[in-house]
Chains A and B, each alone.
Chain A
Amino acid sequence: MTPDKQPWLRRLIVRLIEPPNLETLAPLPRIATYAALIAWSLIVLMPLYWVVITSFKVPVDVDTGPYYLPFIDFQPSLDAWHYIFVDLGNDTLRPYFNSVVVALASTTLAILIGSLAAYALVRIRFKVMLASILVFIGLLVCVIVAVAYVHLAWQLAVAVAGALFLLFLGTLSRRFRAGVGNSDIEFWIISNRIMPPVVAVLPIYIMFQQLHLLDTHVALIATYTAVNLPIVVWLTRDFFAGVPIDLEESAEMDGASKFRVFFTIALPLVRSGLVATFMLVLILAWNEYLLALFLSNANAQTMPLLVSAQNGTRGPQWWYMSVLIVIMVAPVVVIAIFLQKHIARGLLIGAVKG
């Protein structure tokens, strides 16, 4: 064939793969793009769909092979839902209530404490004496050794160490000049996220055991707050740094206190960022597993534990489990769908500044 006999073929190929203008895609790439995106959507939705329909199956429908379509393949029933909500009643609702209380309380606390700290770190210059940090850690080690080896009462040890530390602050600390600045404090707080929780969870367990707080809401709320604090500081720091300082300065001129400025001016200005941070931390707290595994038992059991405990002696009962997964996942998924854009933007700001 000579080249001039196939111009139509070449024209067709060109039309198929070359975009007509900048704002649209040529047919072939467009089909490929949609195919890939739809394929991934199916991968994402398939497991969720399977859980939802399994929750409406009776045991026979699960055991006799895969059925895919309700009303056509199998007759949906509310048996599993009835069992979980009515027959088990409180055994389901109590963990659910625990999860709601722990997640909401710890997230609120983490946002409050974290954003206060982040704001102060952005707006006020700190200088922490290196010497006092070293003395503090030295005293802490002394207290632990004294309690563990000499069997001193821990209240006494803490009181003595506290007095020594205050004495040091009042007298010797002025002699040392070396200090650490704001970025070091920030880095110290944020770097705590690198620490795997399993390193810290044993001592935390022992601590709460000594305080007789194991298996209570307080223990979980305090621990979750501490674990999620670095994320809050990391994200909100950048939100506050983006707020113009003029407004705050003029308010301070008028005699408003730092707290007043924080709560009435700075916080409202970073509202949308705070919402994103709140949702992110809430999701993390809602899904937390390891810490709850160590720190809670029957009373403060949270939903992830209830779900994971379903692997009973009679083998997993998928229909009940699916109901639990659905009621656990549904609220966060709904929230996430509405706030997806905010969360994405919040994460982006965090990742830009790092």
Chain B
Amino acid sequence: MTIAVDTKSSAVTSAGFGEWLDRQSGRIMVLPAVLLILSFAVFPLIISAYLSVSRFALAPGGYRLTFVGFFNFDRLLFGAQQYHFVGTFKPFSPIGWIALVAVLAGLLFWFARYVLSGQATILGFVGRLISASVAVAVVLAMLATVFAGGFPGSFVTTLFYVVAGVLVQFLLGLGLALLCAQPIRARNWFRVIFFIPLTVTPVGIAYTFRMLADMQKGPFAPVSGWFGLGEWSWATQPWSARAIILLGDTWQWTPFMFIVLLAAIENQSRDQIEAARLDGAGGLQIFRDVTWPAIAPIAATIVLIRLIEAFKIIDLPNVLTNGGPGLATESMTLHAFIAWRTQDLGGSAAIGYILLFISTVTCVSFFNYVVRRARRYQQ
């Protein structure tokens, strides 16, 4: 990879080794990082692409890879593995149809507004087309599985973790940060305590929440006994199993939202707030007109960071519920791991690629339509 460094002096002097080294120092500084990413990201991605279109089979004296085209993707999205990846479909209920029509109408309106705004470019249009088609696919999958009474697969489950998890964590983190920013005592204590879960290993959180959720021997046994739930186990019901994973995830990641938002709130100028309060503005009004515009860009950015990380979830489902009951809590990464363990390398790589595609489209869309707008909003 050629890296041309702009040097101020173009005059070639006596080219000693030290001088040559100094002129190349820019390239040498970047080289290790570039090499690492080439060998641990770019190169593996190409191999993965190759694996995802082949079938892996053990053969005498090693293994054999046969080219199968898009068979692996086809099997996951439309074929024999569809129940595992997307889910089992049921016909739409009337509410499902209404929701679908509403989503389509919303997207059409969005496109119409973009085209009529007079600033439309071909690239922007294509980008929006990709975002919109992914959104429609996701909504269709959700409606046909979750809302129609079918069984969601790992794809739908992952999206549930991402959307519900990030939303709950953001709202909780924001609320706690606003409370903690009040003039109260012991603020530093709260700050330190709230920070702790972020550092706890997810595997440890998974086991801890398994202990806590034990209805007979866990700490909440008296409570559940009182409600007559002593014999009930959260791990046997799909939605309670997903809820407990979401609970563990929220316990761990709310602090991340909290500490950054609190730092952002404390960073804004106090003059504005005091001026607003002297003018007789209430708490809600101050939040809406002063605090929120100041922290919106940061809020959007940390939601983006959290989105990126949320798609990778594996530890909690794997340890807490082992993906069960059935497939109810399996995330896409866990699905790929299980496929790998059963020697289905092609399927595993295909799942990885679909995950890469979905998370990239989501994150880029979020960056373009939300983070950019939030930053403009500030200026």
Interface set of A (CB-CB < 8 Å, partner B): 22-25, 29-30, 33-34, 36-37, 40-41, 43-48, 50-51, 54, 62-66, 68, 113-114, 116-117, 119-121, 124-129, 132-133, 136-137, 140-141, 144-145, 148, 169, 173, 179, 185, 188-189, 192-204, 206-207, 222-223, 225-227, 229, 233, 257-259, 262, 283, 286-287, 289-290, 293-294, 303-304, 307-308, 310-311, 316, 318, 321-322, 325, 328-329, 332-333, 335-337, 340-341, 343-345, 347-348, 351-352, 354
Would A333 and B30 count as touching, CB distance under 8 A? no
Q: List residues of chain B with CB within 8 A of the CB of A188.
A: 37
Q: How far is the CB of B24 from chain A (nearest CB, A)?
A: 9
Chain A to chain B contacts (Cβ below 8 Å), 23 pairs: A63-B217, A66-B220, A113-B33, A117-B29, A124-B5, A127-B6, A141-B46, A198-B333, A202-B340, A203-B44, A207-B43, A262-B29, A287-B200, A290-B333, A294-B340, A304-B202, A308-B318, A329-B199, A333-B196, A344-B259, A347-B259, A347-B260, A348-B260
Q: List residues of chain B with CB within 8 A of the CB of A329.
A: 199-201, 204
B363 at the interface (CB under 8 A from A): yes
Among the stretches B106-114, B127-135, B350-358, the one at the interface with A is B350-358
**10 cross-chain pairs, A with B, having the tightest CB-CB distances, nearest first:** A226-B40, A199-B352, A203-B47, A203-B44, A117-B33, A120-B29, A258-B25, A200-B44, A124-B26, A325-B204
Q: Count residues on chain B whose CB falls below 8 Å from chain A CBs.
A: 110
Q: How far is the CB of A122 from chain B (nearest CB, A)?
A: 11
Q: List residues of chain B with CB within 8 A of the CB of A68.
A: 219
Q: List residues of chain A with CB within 8 A of the CB of B143.
A: none
Q: List residues of chain B with CB within 8 A of the CB of A325.
A: 201, 204, 207-208
Residue of A nearest to B65 (CB): A148
Q: List residues of chain A with CB within 8 A of the CB of B332.
A: 196, 198
Q: List residues of chain B with CB within 8 A of the CB of A222.
A: 36, 40
Restricting to B287-322, which residues have a CB under 8 Å from any CB of A? 297-298, 301-302, 304-305, 308, 311-312, 314-315, 318-319
Q: List residues of chain A with CB within 8 A of the CB of B196.
A: 44, 48, 333, 336-337
Contacts A41-B194, A133-B1, A325-B208; A199 near B176 (Cβ below 8 A):
no
A-B contact count (CB 8 A): 326
Q: List residues of chain B with CB within 8 A of the CB of A198.
A: 312, 314, 332-333, 336-337, 348, 351-352, 355
Q: List residues of chain A with CB within 8 A of the CB of B348.
A: 198, 202
Interface set of B (CB-CB < 8 Å, partner A): 1-6, 18, 21-22, 25-26, 29-30, 32-34, 36-37, 39-48, 50-51, 65, 175-176, 179-180, 182-184, 190-212, 216-222, 251, 255-256, 259-260, 262-264, 267, 274, 277, 297-298, 301-302, 304-305, 308, 311-312, 314-315, 318-319, 332-333, 336-337, 340, 345, 348-349, 351-353, 355-356, 359-360, 363, 371, 375
Contacts A65-B221, A318-B211, A329-B204; A24 near B44 (Cβ below 8 A):
no
Contacts A37-B176, A113-B32, A148-B65; A226 near B201 (Cβ below 8 A):
no
Q: How far is the CB of B153 from chain A (nearest CB, A)?
A: 16
**How far is A119 from B28 in the complex, measured between Cα atoms in Å?**
12
Q: How far is the CB of A63 from chain B (nearest CB, A)?
A: 7
Q: List residues of chain A with CB within 8 A of the CB of B301.
A: 351-352, 354
**How far is A45 from B255 in the complex, measured between Cα atoms in Å?**
13
Q: Which of A33, A132, A311 contacts B2 (CB 8 A)?
A: A132
Would B22 and A23 count as touching, CB distance under 8 A? no
